[in-house]
Structure 1
Amino acid sequence: MNVREFLKNCPVEIWSQHFAVVKAKYVPKDFVAVFSDREEITVVVDAQHLNDDWIIESEQGWRMLSFRVTLQFELVGFLAAVAQALADAQISIFALSAYSTDHLLVKDADLPEAIRCLESLGCAVAESD
Protein backbone atom coordinates (compact mmCIF):
# COMPACT_ATOMS: atom_id res chain seq x y z
CA MET A 1 0.00 0.00 0.00
CA ASN A 2 1.25 3.46 -0.93
CA VAL A 3 1.55 5.71 2.13
CA ARG A 4 0.61 8.86 0.19
CA GLU A 5 -2.62 7.22 -0.97
CA PHE A 6 -3.29 6.03 2.57
CA LEU A 7 -2.94 9.59 3.90
CA LYS A 8 -5.59 10.96 1.51
CA ASN A 9 -8.69 11.65 3.61
CA CYS A 10 -7.05 9.98 6.62
CA PRO A 11 -9.08 11.21 9.63
CA VAL A 12 -6.97 12.99 12.25
CA GLU A 13 -8.58 13.95 15.56
CA ILE A 14 -7.30 16.90 17.59
CA TRP A 15 -7.88 16.20 21.27
CA SER A 16 -9.29 19.14 23.22
CA GLN A 17 -7.05 18.59 26.25
CA HIS A 18 -3.58 19.98 26.85
CA PHE A 19 -1.02 17.35 27.78
CA ALA A 20 2.25 16.99 29.63
CA VAL A 21 5.00 14.46 28.97
CA VAL A 22 6.43 13.40 32.31
CA LYS A 23 9.41 11.45 33.56
CA ALA A 24 7.69 9.83 36.53
CA LYS A 25 8.51 8.09 39.79
CA TYR A 26 5.58 5.73 39.22
CA VAL A 27 2.54 5.39 36.95
CA PRO A 28 -0.21 7.75 38.15
CA LYS A 29 -3.91 6.95 38.11
CA ASP A 30 -5.08 9.28 35.33
CA PHE A 31 -2.53 8.65 32.58
CA VAL A 32 -3.25 8.67 28.83
CA ALA A 33 -0.16 6.68 27.79
CA VAL A 34 2.81 5.14 29.57
CA PHE A 35 6.14 3.75 28.45
CA SER A 36 8.43 2.04 30.89
CA ASP A 37 11.90 0.68 30.23
CA ARG A 38 14.89 -0.21 32.39
CA GLU A 39 15.86 3.45 32.67
CA GLU A 40 12.68 5.39 33.28
CA ILE A 41 8.90 5.69 33.25
CA THR A 42 7.46 8.15 30.74
CA VAL A 43 3.84 9.18 31.13
CA VAL A 44 1.55 11.29 28.96
CA VAL A 45 -1.12 12.88 31.09
CA ASP A 46 -3.81 15.53 30.78
CA ALA A 47 -2.07 18.60 32.21
CA GLN A 48 -4.89 19.18 34.70
CA HIS A 49 -3.89 15.93 36.44
CA LEU A 50 -0.28 16.90 37.16
CA ASN A 51 0.83 16.28 40.72
CA ASP A 52 4.32 16.96 42.06
CA ASP A 53 4.23 13.74 44.10
CA TRP A 54 5.08 11.55 41.10
CA ILE A 55 6.91 13.94 38.73
CA ILE A 56 10.67 13.90 38.25
CA GLU A 57 10.66 16.15 35.16
CA SER A 58 7.90 17.37 32.86
CA GLU A 59 7.37 19.13 29.57
CA GLN A 60 3.98 20.81 29.26
CA GLY A 61 2.03 22.50 26.48
CA TRP A 62 1.38 19.56 24.16
CA ARG A 63 -1.69 18.83 22.01
CA MET A 64 -2.53 15.35 20.76
CA LEU A 65 -3.33 14.43 17.16
CA SER A 66 -4.69 10.90 16.62
CA PHE A 67 -4.82 9.15 13.27
CA ARG A 68 -8.26 7.53 13.42
CA VAL A 69 -7.59 4.66 11.04
CA THR A 70 -6.34 1.17 11.63
CA LEU A 71 -2.71 1.13 10.57
CA GLN A 72 -1.69 -2.15 8.97
CA PHE A 73 1.66 -3.51 10.09
CA GLU A 74 2.57 -3.85 6.40
CA LEU A 75 2.16 -0.10 5.82
CA VAL A 76 5.73 1.15 5.40
CA GLY A 77 6.68 4.79 5.92
CA PHE A 78 3.48 6.15 7.45
CA LEU A 79 5.10 7.81 10.45
CA ALA A 80 8.17 8.76 8.40
CA ALA A 81 6.05 10.66 5.85
CA VAL A 82 4.11 12.50 8.55
CA ALA A 83 7.22 13.23 10.63
CA GLN A 84 9.10 14.52 7.58
CA ALA A 85 6.30 16.93 6.64
CA LEU A 86 6.26 18.28 10.19
CA ALA A 87 10.07 18.41 10.38
CA ASP A 88 10.16 20.42 7.16
CA ALA A 89 7.96 22.97 8.97
CA GLN A 90 10.30 22.91 12.00
CA ILE A 91 7.66 21.23 14.19
CA SER A 92 8.92 18.96 16.94
CA ILE A 93 6.83 15.86 17.66
CA PHE A 94 6.47 13.28 20.40
CA ALA A 95 5.20 10.14 18.67
CA LEU A 96 3.12 7.41 20.31
CA SER A 97 2.13 4.19 18.61
CA ALA A 98 -0.58 1.92 19.90
CA TYR A 99 -1.36 -1.49 18.43
CA SER A 100 -3.30 -0.13 15.46
CA THR A 101 -3.28 3.66 15.84
CA ASP A 102 -0.59 6.34 15.87
CA HIS A 103 -0.74 9.57 17.86
CA LEU A 104 1.45 12.66 17.73
CA LEU A 105 1.96 15.31 20.35
CA VAL A 106 2.87 18.75 19.05
CA LYS A 107 3.41 21.91 21.01
CA ASP A 108 0.30 24.06 21.34
CA ALA A 109 1.97 26.97 19.52
CA ASP A 110 2.75 24.65 16.57
CA LEU A 111 -0.77 23.22 16.27
CA PRO A 112 -2.05 25.53 13.48
CA GLU A 113 1.00 24.82 11.31
CA ALA A 114 0.84 21.09 12.11
CA ILE A 115 -2.78 21.06 10.92
CA ARG A 116 -1.76 22.81 7.71
CA CYS A 117 1.02 20.26 7.13
CA LEU A 118 -1.29 17.29 7.70
CA GLU A 119 -3.94 18.77 5.43
CA SER A 120 -1.30 19.26 2.73
CA LEU A 121 -0.69 15.50 2.96
CA GLY A 122 -4.40 14.97 2.35
CA CYS A 123 -5.47 14.26 5.94
CA ALA A 124 -8.93 15.29 7.15
CA VAL A 125 -8.14 17.06 10.43
CA ALA A 126 -10.94 17.85 12.90
CA GLU A 127 -11.38 18.78 16.56
CA SER A 128 -12.69 16.02 18.82
CA ASP A 129 -16.26 16.16 20.08
Structure 2
Amino acid sequence: MEKRLTIKVFEEILSVCRLDKSARVPDWAEGDFLTITRTPEELSIVCCQKNIPEDVKCERGWRYFKIDEVLDFSLVGILSLLSGTLASQGISIFAISTYDTDYILIKEEELDRAIEALRLEGHHVSINGQ
Protein backbone atom coordinates (compact mmCIF):
# COMPACT_ATOMS: atom_id res chain seq x y z
CA MET A 1 0.00 0.00 0.00
CA GLU A 2 1.33 3.42 -0.93
CA LYS A 3 1.81 6.16 1.65
CA ARG A 4 -1.07 8.61 2.02
CA LEU A 5 0.14 12.14 2.63
CA THR A 6 -1.21 15.26 4.29
CA ILE A 7 -0.82 18.19 1.89
CA LYS A 8 -1.32 21.85 2.73
CA VAL A 9 -2.22 24.30 -0.06
CA PHE A 10 -1.18 27.95 0.27
CA GLU A 11 -3.03 31.00 -1.09
CA GLU A 12 0.05 33.01 -2.08
CA ILE A 13 0.82 33.27 -5.80
CA LEU A 14 4.48 32.74 -6.69
CA SER A 15 6.72 33.36 -9.68
CA VAL A 16 9.86 31.56 -10.79
CA CYS A 17 12.47 34.10 -11.90
CA ARG A 18 15.70 33.79 -13.85
CA LEU A 19 18.46 36.34 -13.44
CA ASP A 20 21.99 36.47 -14.79
CA LYS A 21 24.42 34.15 -13.01
CA SER A 22 26.39 37.12 -11.62
CA ALA A 23 23.35 39.15 -10.48
CA ARG A 24 23.02 40.20 -6.87
CA VAL A 25 20.00 38.95 -4.97
CA PRO A 26 17.48 41.80 -5.45
CA ASP A 27 15.62 43.55 -2.63
CA TRP A 28 12.27 42.34 -3.99
CA ALA A 29 13.28 38.71 -3.31
CA GLU A 30 11.38 38.32 -0.06
CA GLY A 31 8.23 36.82 1.41
CA ASP A 32 6.97 33.88 3.41
CA PHE A 33 8.05 31.52 0.64
CA LEU A 34 11.43 32.30 -0.89
CA THR A 35 14.06 30.13 -2.54
CA ILE A 36 17.27 31.39 -4.06
CA THR A 37 19.51 29.08 -6.07
CA ARG A 38 22.71 30.12 -7.79
CA THR A 39 24.31 27.79 -10.33
CA PRO A 40 27.15 28.37 -12.80
CA GLU A 41 24.45 29.26 -15.38
CA GLU A 42 21.86 31.34 -13.51
CA LEU A 43 20.41 32.89 -10.39
CA SER A 44 16.94 31.41 -9.87
CA ILE A 45 14.49 32.97 -7.41
CA VAL A 46 11.04 31.76 -6.41
CA CYS A 47 9.06 34.28 -4.39
CA CYS A 48 5.77 36.13 -3.99
CA GLN A 49 4.64 37.35 -7.41
CA LYS A 50 3.41 40.72 -6.20
CA ASN A 51 6.97 41.74 -5.24
CA ILE A 52 8.50 41.18 -8.68
CA PRO A 53 8.98 44.07 -11.12
CA GLU A 54 7.28 43.59 -14.51
CA ASP A 55 10.57 43.69 -16.44
CA VAL A 56 12.06 40.64 -14.66
CA LYS A 57 12.21 37.42 -16.69
CA CYS A 58 9.94 35.01 -14.88
CA GLU A 59 7.18 32.46 -15.15
CA ARG A 60 4.23 33.85 -13.23
CA GLY A 61 1.08 32.35 -11.75
CA TRP A 62 2.18 29.44 -9.54
CA ARG A 63 0.33 28.18 -6.48
CA TYR A 64 2.10 25.88 -4.08
CA PHE A 65 1.54 23.16 -1.57
CA LYS A 66 3.72 21.30 0.84
CA ILE A 67 3.78 17.83 2.25
CA ASP A 68 2.70 18.74 5.76
CA GLU A 69 5.12 16.57 7.67
CA VAL A 70 8.85 16.29 8.21
CA LEU A 71 10.23 13.78 5.71
CA ASP A 72 13.16 11.61 6.72
CA PHE A 73 16.04 11.59 4.24
CA SER A 74 15.77 7.80 3.96
CA LEU A 75 12.25 7.96 2.47
CA VAL A 76 12.12 6.96 -1.18
CA GLY A 77 9.61 7.96 -3.84
CA ILE A 78 7.60 10.71 -2.15
CA LEU A 79 7.96 13.19 -5.02
CA SER A 80 7.53 10.37 -7.51
CA LEU A 81 4.25 9.40 -5.86
CA LEU A 82 2.81 12.91 -6.16
CA SER A 83 4.35 13.86 -9.50
CA GLY A 84 3.15 10.58 -11.03
CA THR A 85 -0.41 11.27 -9.94
CA LEU A 86 -0.27 14.77 -11.38
CA ALA A 87 1.51 13.70 -14.56
CA SER A 88 -1.23 11.15 -15.23
CA GLN A 89 -3.62 14.13 -15.36
CA GLY A 90 -1.32 16.14 -17.64
CA ILE A 91 -0.41 18.58 -14.84
CA SER A 92 3.11 19.99 -14.91
CA ILE A 93 4.92 20.67 -11.63
CA PHE A 94 7.87 22.64 -10.30
CA ALA A 95 9.30 20.83 -7.27
CA ILE A 96 11.38 22.30 -4.46
CA SER A 97 12.83 20.33 -1.59
CA THR A 98 13.96 21.69 1.76
CA TYR A 99 15.66 20.04 4.69
CA ASP A 100 12.29 19.16 6.26
CA THR A 101 9.88 18.52 3.41
CA ASP A 102 8.94 18.92 -0.25
CA TYR A 103 6.96 21.67 -1.97
CA ILE A 104 5.21 21.38 -5.31
CA LEU A 105 4.24 24.36 -7.43
CA ILE A 106 1.31 24.07 -9.83
CA LYS A 107 0.14 26.65 -12.32
CA GLU A 108 -2.83 28.43 -10.75
CA GLU A 109 -5.26 27.34 -13.48
CA GLU A 110 -4.40 23.67 -12.77
CA LEU A 111 -4.75 23.82 -8.99
CA ASP A 112 -8.33 22.54 -8.71
CA ARG A 113 -7.58 19.57 -10.98
CA ALA A 114 -4.41 18.82 -9.00
CA ILE A 115 -6.26 18.86 -5.68
CA GLU A 116 -8.96 16.57 -7.07
CA ALA A 117 -6.39 14.10 -8.45
CA LEU A 118 -4.48 13.99 -5.15
CA ARG A 119 -7.65 13.48 -3.13
CA LEU A 120 -8.76 10.65 -5.45
CA GLU A 121 -5.45 8.94 -4.66
CA GLY A 122 -6.32 9.10 -0.96
CA HIS A 123 -4.17 12.06 0.12
CA HIS A 124 -5.60 14.57 2.59
CA VAL A 125 -5.41 18.01 0.96
CA SER A 126 -6.23 21.04 3.12
CA ILE A 127 -6.84 24.56 1.88
CA ASN A 128 -6.80 27.27 4.54
CA GLY A 129 -6.73 24.62 7.25
CA GLN A 130 -9.79 22.72 5.97
Runs in 1 of length 4+ with deviation above 4 angstroms?
none
Q: Which residue of 1 aligns with 2:49?
A: 47
2:120 matched to 1:120?
Answer: yes
The code of the aligned residue for 1:28 comes to P
Q: Which residue of 2 aligns with 1:108?
A: 108
Measured in 2, the distance between the counterparts of 1:109 and 1:99 equals 29
SS in 2 for 1:72: coil
Question: Greater shift after overlay, 39-48 or 25-34?
Answer: 25-34
The code of the aligned residue for 1:15 comes to F
2:86 matched to 1:91?
Answer: no
Among the aligned pairs, what percent are the same residue?
Answer: 30
Q: Which residue of 1 aligns with 2:36?
A: 34
How big is the alpha-carbon RMSD for the aligned residues of Structure 1 and Structure 2? 1.7
Following superposition, the deviation at residue 121 of structure 1 comes to: 2.5
Normalized per residue, which structure has more helix? 1
Q: Which residue of 1 aligns with 2:11?
A: 16
Gaps of 5+ in 1: none
Q: Which residue of 1 aligns with 2:68?
A: 68
Normalized per residue, which structure has more strand? 1
TM-score (norm 2): 0.85
SS in 1 for 2:112: helix
